[in-house]
């Protein structure tokens, strides 16, 4: 069966290993010199010069069937099918006579919206990684698996000739949506496989199933089943805040929203582990065990002890493990229609409220915008916040136009009356370097109040500058921190900083989304002549 499947794409491998269990894959990885075993039992590997995703090496085959659907540009770069086939064929020839590892798995915890993926790997450790990250079929399901909906061929040992193929580098991540095939060449970073699956689902779920795919985490109340989803870019606390011990974790990164509720697209987690500490993130810390794959974590070769604080290989150290390594995970990964949607942003400008409620149009504006702020690399105390706008909180993985996803979100918010909150996990009382980061315990209290309905009967005031409704009180949170302007000693400095951020919002939206519905465009931040303050 395996050989027949590989022969169909023209591959003539040596030995084929299909759907091995973790112990066998770890054994193969170790015997092939692909990694080492840590003292916790985790498999530790290094990915070479590619220690993160390579967005400039990602392409989509520009074919007649998808041309008018794809939002072409800097993110979704076109490539012709002839080049795709040429690289694919050379990858296949490279694998002739070599050991091949196959994994057949599912994307989508809801059987109604599930897709079958076949992953063909050169590396045993990458096969273990994707086994952890996708949904693992039962033995009976494997017997009936049949042909996949999509195939991914990952061959890091094959290096592209960029001059001959007219591409960016020796690496290439290319999706052919019509051929239902993905190739990943020249890079060992396993996140490319995970995100290729997500990119496929972000195309097929809206166009074929009318399901909204989301780059978000999700959890649920274990008693009531009430569900919440959390959108947020790196550093906003998405993983930390959704891993609430009082709630069940549905998933930490990728979900679909159907007519019946939310479902996890994955069957695993891919967590950052730089500076990982047991007392701060115990669930993730204890998931770095046998069966998990740790990428680019520095390990003592004598003791096998991992140093999570060592950045010598990369800041982007990662661990991939099955979701059931988390004790409070929801099995299967499905929840109800979200009662609340939370947009997380780490505002280093220090001007956004720590929590606010959004109208429908304002929610779509913030969803499309995907704002957070990161800190510039500086010297000798020079610190300047840098705005980051990532469409839909996941721009690199969204092949369709932003309005397609935004419209689907807006329809669901209106249909189900879902509340939307913007939560600032960044700074208050001043920008980074002057103010202080909002305390995690207050953020948790605000989110709990929003999810438990404790804000439903609280008075809100409207912030005209950012078009947000701000609560005047929240259980467990000092009232004085809820109005960001009031936390600044110099109110004029706040007004100046707020106007600066509002101008960045306006510029970003005008440049990237000139054709968006005016009602949505008008629902965002705006520059003001007079102080922003709040107005009922």
- 325 in a domain, yes or no? no
> What is the model's pLDDT at position 125?
98
Q: Is 177 annotated as a binding residue?
A: no
- Are the CB atoms for 126 and 157 separated by under 8 Å? no
Q: Which three-class secondary structure state does DSSP give residue 321?
A: strand
88 is catalytic: no
Separation in Å, CA 409 to CA 21, 187, 349: 38, 34, 28
318 is catalytic: yes
Whole-number Å distance between alpha carbons of 224 and 337: 12
Catalytic residue (one of 195, 247, 255, 419): 195
Catalytic residue (one of 57, 104, 253, 469): 253
Residue tagged 């680019």 (tokens) = 296
Separation in Å, CA 83 to CA 92, 178, 518, 527: 14, 15, 40, 47
Q: Which three-class secondary structure state does DSSP give residue 323?
A: helix
Whole-number Å distance between alpha carbons of 396 and 375: 21
CATH number at residue 402: 3.90.228.20
Q: Is 114 annotated as a binding residue?
A: no
- 418 in a domain, yes or no? yes
Note whether 341 and 382 are same-domain residues.
Answer: yes
Q: Is 388 annotated as a binding residue?
A: no
Q: CB neighbours of 189 closer than 8 A, spacing ≥ 6? A: 47, 50, 51, 52, 53, 54, 295
Q: Is 187 annotated as a binding residue?
A: no
- 130 in a domain, yes or no? yes
Rg over alpha carbons for the chain, rounded to the nearest Å, is 23
DSSP 8-state class, residue 439: P
Secondary element (H or E) of residue 129: helix 124-133
Note whether 193 and 225 are same-domain residues.
Answer: no
Note whether 200 and 244 are same-domain residues.
Answer: no
Domain count, the chain: 2
Whole-number Å distance between alpha carbons of 411 and 303: 55
Burial 395-413, CB ≥16 within 10 A → b, else e: bebbbbbbbbbbbbbbebb
Tokens of 34: 């692909």
Q: Is 232 annotated as a binding residue?
A: yes
Q: Is 238 annotated as a binding residue?
A: yes
Catalytic residue (one of 151, 239, 258, 372): 239
Whole-number Å distance between alpha carbons of 317 and 329: 23
> What is the model's pLDDT at position 4?
52
Note whether 114 and 248 are same-domain residues.
Answer: no
Any alpha helices (H) in 390-466, and if so which ranges? Answer: 402-416, 440-452
> What is the model's pLDDT at position 17?
97
- 131 in a domain, yes or no? yes
Q: How far is CA 142 from the centre of its chain?
A: 28
Tokens of 7: 């022969």
Note whether 71 and 13 are same-domain residues.
Answer: yes
Q: How would you class 533 by CB atoms within 10 Å of its CB: exposed for 0-12, middle for 13-18, buried for 19 or more?
A: middle
- 527 in a domain, yes or no? no
Per the DSSP assignment, residues forming a β-bridge with 299 are 306
DSSP 8-state class, residue 473: -
- Are the CB atoms for 410 and 359 separated by under 8 Å? no
Q: Tell me the torsion sign for CA atoms 257, 258, 260, 264.
A: negative
- 262 in a domain, yes or no? no
Q: Is 195 annotated as a binding residue?
A: yes
CATH number at residue 176: 3.40.449.10
Whole-number Å distance between alpha carbons of 531 and 492: 8
391: left (phi over 0), alpha (psi -120 to 50) or beta: beta
Q: How far is CA 319 from the centre of its chain?
A: 14
Note whether 158 and 176 are same-domain residues.
Answer: yes
Question: pTM surpassing 0.75?
Answer: yes
- Are the CB atoms for 234 and 268 separated by under 8 Å? no
Other residues' Cβ atoms within 10 Å of the Cβ of residue 316: 18
Q: Which three-class secondary structure state does DSSP give residue 253?
A: coil
Note whether 408 and 492 are same-domain residues.
Answer: yes
Q: How far is CA 402 from the centre of its chain?
A: 16
- 41 in a domain, yes or no? no
Q: Is 462 annotated as a binding residue?
A: no
> What is the model's pLDDT at position 385?
65
Note whether 489 and 354 are same-domain residues.
Answer: yes
**Phi and psi torsions of 296, nearest 5°:** 60, 25
15 is catalytic: no
> In the Cβ-directed half-sphere of 110, how many Cα atoms lie within 13 Å?
21
Note whether 116 and 248 are same-domain residues.
Answer: no
Note whether 220 and 203 are same-domain residues.
Answer: no
Note whether 241 and 141 are same-domain residues.
Answer: no
Catalytic residue (one of 318, 334, 357, 412): 318
Q: Is 237 annotated as a binding residue?
A: yes
Tokens of 401: 């136009």
Burial 365-376, CB ≥16 within 10 A → b, else e: bbbbbbbbbeee
Whole-number Å distance between alpha carbons of 414 and 92: 49
238 is catalytic: yes
485 is catalytic: no
Whole-number Å distance between alpha carbons of 114 and 124: 25
Whole-number Å distance between alpha carbons of 218 and 238: 9
Q: Is 221 annotated as a binding residue?
A: no
Catalytic residue (one of 18, 136, 238, 248): 238
275 is catalytic: no
Per the DSSP assignment, residues forming a β-bridge with 319 are 271, 294
415 is catalytic: no
> What is the model's pLDDT at position 377?
33
Q: Is 309 annotated as a binding residue?
A: no
Range of the domain at 175: 2-32+58-210
237: left (phi over 0), alpha (psi -120 to 50) or beta: left
Whole-number Å distance between alpha carbons of 412 and 410: 5
- 174 in a domain, yes or no? yes
CA 195, 212, 206, 250: dihedral to nearest 10 degrees? Answer: 50
Q: Is 318 annotated as a binding residue?
A: yes
- pLDDT means over runs of 10, the chain (536 residues): 70 95 98 98 97 94 96 96 97 97 98 98 98 97 95 98 96 97 98 98 98 96 94 85 89 95 96 91 93 98 97 94 93 95 95 97 96 56 68 94 94 96 96 92 95 94 96 95 96 96 96 91 90 47
Whole-number Å distance between alpha carbons of 409 and 431: 32
Note whether 100 and 13 are same-domain residues.
Answer: yes
- Are the CB atoms for 320 and 190 separated by under 8 Å? yes
Whole-number Å distance between alpha carbons of 42 and 299: 11
Q: Is 441 annotated as a binding residue?
A: no
253 is catalytic: yes
Catalytic residue (one of 215, 255, 339, 357): 215
């Amino acid at each position: 069966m395996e050989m027949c499947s590989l022969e169909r794409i023209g591959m003539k491998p040596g030995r084929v290993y299909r759907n091995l269990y973790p112990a066998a894959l770890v054994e193969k990885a170790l015997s092939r010199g692909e990694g080492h075993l840590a003292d916790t039992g985790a498999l530790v590997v290094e990915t070479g010069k590619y220690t993160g995703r390579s967005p400039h090496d990602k392409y989509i085959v520009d074919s007649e069937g998808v041309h008018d659907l794809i939002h072409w540009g800097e993110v979704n770069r076109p490539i012709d099918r002839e080049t795709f086939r040429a690289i694919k064929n050379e990858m296949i020839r490279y694998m002739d006579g070599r050991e091949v590892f196959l994994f057949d798995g599912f994307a989508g915890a809801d059987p109604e919206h599930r897709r079958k993926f076949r992953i063909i790997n050169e590396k045993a450790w990458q096969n273990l990684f994707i086994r952890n990250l996708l949904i693992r079929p039962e033995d009976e399901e494997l017997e009936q698996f049949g042909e996949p909906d999509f195939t991914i061929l990952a061959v890091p040992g094959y290096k592209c000739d960029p001059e001959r193929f007219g591409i960016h580098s020796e690496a290439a991540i290319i999706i052919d949506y019509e051929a239902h095939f993905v190739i990943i060449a020249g890079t060992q970073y396993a996140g490319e496989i995970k995100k290729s699956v997500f990119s496929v689902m972000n195309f097929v779920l809206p166009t074929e199933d009318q399901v909204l795919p989301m780059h978000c985490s999700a959890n649920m109340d274990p008693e009531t089943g009430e569900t919440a989803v959390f959108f947020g870019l790196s550093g906003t606390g998405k993983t930390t805040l959704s891993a609430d011990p009082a709630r069940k974790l549905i998933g930490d990164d990728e979900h679909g929203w159907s007519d019946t509720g939310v479902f996890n697209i994955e069957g695993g987690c891919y967590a950052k582990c730089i500076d990982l500490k047991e007392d701060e993130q115990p669930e993730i810390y204890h998931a770095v065990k046998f069966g998990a794959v740790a990428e680019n974590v520095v390990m003592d070769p004598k003791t096998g002890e991992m140093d999570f604080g060592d950045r010598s290989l990369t800041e982007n150290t990662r661990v991939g493990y099955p979701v059931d390594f988390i004790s409070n995970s929801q099995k299967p990964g499905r929840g109800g229609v979200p009662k609340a949607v939370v947009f997380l942003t780490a505002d280093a400008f220090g001007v956004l409220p720590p929590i606010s409620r959004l109208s429908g149009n304002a929610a779509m504006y913030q969803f499309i915008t995907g704002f957070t702020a990161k800190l510039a690399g500086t010297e000798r105390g020079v610190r300047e916040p840098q705005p980051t706008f990532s469409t839909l909180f996941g721009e690199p993985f969204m092949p369709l136009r932003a309005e397609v996803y935004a419209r689907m979100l807006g329809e669901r918010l209106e249909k189900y009356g879902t509340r939307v909150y913007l939560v600032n996990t960044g700074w208050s009382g001043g920008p980074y370097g002057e103010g202080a980061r909002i305390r995690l315990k207050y953020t948790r209290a605000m989110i709990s109040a929003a999810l438990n309905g404790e804000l439903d009967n609280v008075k809100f005031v409207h912030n005209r500058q950012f078009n947000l409704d701000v609560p005047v009180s929240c259980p467990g949170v000092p009232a004085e921190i809820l109005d960001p302007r009031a936390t600044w000693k110099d109110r004029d400095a706040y007004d100046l900083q707020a106007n600066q951020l509002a101008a960045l919002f306006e510029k970003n939206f005008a440049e990237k989304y000139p054709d968006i519905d005016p009602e949505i465009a008008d629902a965002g931040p705006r520059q003001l002549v007079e102080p922003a303050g709040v107005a009922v």
